[in-house]
């Protein structure tokens, strides 16, 4: 019997099949990432009637860098087309739009877990926990298909904790076979750290703060990067081959170049080479 997996393409944002939920449901504050304040539930002034961003090709220049690094992991199209059956929030009763905006961040968290679980199932070293990972994936996938009311009432932190136990075990198994396994830097404060050329093979960097850290030429092969804050981290010429639990938002928030080696699960951000 084949292993249960999820199509990871379905765990990437598809704006063409979403009602611009991230541009309405989520709040943001004026900062280096956003040019203005916006409360949750209010549409961004840049959101057009067709649910497309009116300044999509100029977001960084207009001060909306935070939008360029965001990914809903496919939650937008799931909520828009499945949970609410394609019924738009525009012109709908207030209770409909409120429910949609409330459910969106819940499904986003579930889809992020599906991303990690799917990746974990692709790691041969994690085979001892594959049966448990498959069950967790099936359970999480089932949760995403619940009704709006059920999703709104879901205890997401409790479910995340259950899944995290398996992901941590996966990390230990995967990193155990990395030659020169790195130190445990889980949750470490490495903001602005000078780690140029550092040997971080197999390092545990779960939840580490690496904001503006210098990792140029660093060796991050086989490192666990789940939840690591890579905003403005310099990954120029760094080797992240085989690094796992790395997401596209993390990579997009970092700085890098043509010499940065990335795992196949993420793509090289356009602004790395376009100077944007």
Smallest CA-to-CA distance from 7 within 163, 115, 106 is with 115
- Identify whether the C-beta of residue 268 lies closer than 8 Å to the C-beta of residue 238: no
For residue 249, pLDDT beyond 90: yes
- For 41-65, the pLDDT digits (tens) are 999 999 999 999 999 989 989 999 9
Cα 77 off chain centre by = 16
Domains defined for the chain, CATH in brackets:
8-174 (no CATH), 180-276 (2.160.20.80)
- For 89-103, the pLDDT digits (tens) are 998 899 999 999 999
HEC profile of 107-169: HHHHHHHHHHHHHHHCCHHHHHHHHHHHHHHHHHHHHHCCCHHHHHCCCHHHHHHHHHHHHHH
Rounded to two decimals, the pTM is: 0.92
75-82 average pLDDT score: 96
CA angle (125, 126, 132) in 5-degree steps: 160
């Amino acid at each position: 019997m084949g292993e249960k997996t999820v199509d990871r393409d379905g765990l990437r944002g598809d704006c063409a099949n979403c009602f611009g939920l991230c541009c309405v449901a989520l709040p943001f504050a004026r900062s280096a990432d956003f040019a203005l304040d916006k409360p949750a539930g209010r549409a961004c002034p840049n959101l057009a009637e067709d649910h497309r961003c009116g300044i999509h090709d100029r977001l960084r220049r207009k001060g909306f860098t935070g939008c360029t690094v965001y990914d809903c992991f496919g939650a937008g199209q799931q909520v828009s087309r499945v949970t609410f059956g394609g019924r738009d929030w525009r012109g709908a009763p207030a209770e409909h739009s409120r429910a949609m905006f409330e459910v969106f961040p819940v499904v986003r968290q579930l889809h992020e877990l599906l991303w990690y679980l799917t990746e974990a199932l692709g790691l041969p070293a994690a085979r001892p926990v594959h049966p448990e990972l498959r069950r967790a994936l099936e359970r999480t996938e089932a949760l995403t298909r619940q009704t709006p009311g059920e999703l709104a009432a879901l205890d997401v932190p409790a479910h995340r904790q259950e899944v995290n136990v398996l992901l941590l075990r996966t990390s230990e198994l995967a990193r155990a076979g990395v030659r020169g396994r790195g130190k445990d830097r889980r949750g470490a404060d490495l903001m602005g750290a000078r780690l140029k050329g550092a040997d971080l093979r197999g390092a545990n960097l779960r939840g580490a703060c690496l904001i503006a850290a210098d990792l140029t030429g660093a060796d991050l092969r086989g490192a666990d990067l789940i939840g690591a804050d890579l905003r403005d981290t310099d990954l120029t010429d760094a080797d992240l081959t085989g690094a796992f639990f790395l997401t596209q938002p993390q990579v997009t928030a970092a700085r890098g170049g043509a010499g940065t080696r990335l795992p196949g699960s993420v793509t090289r951000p356009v602004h790395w080479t376009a100077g944007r």
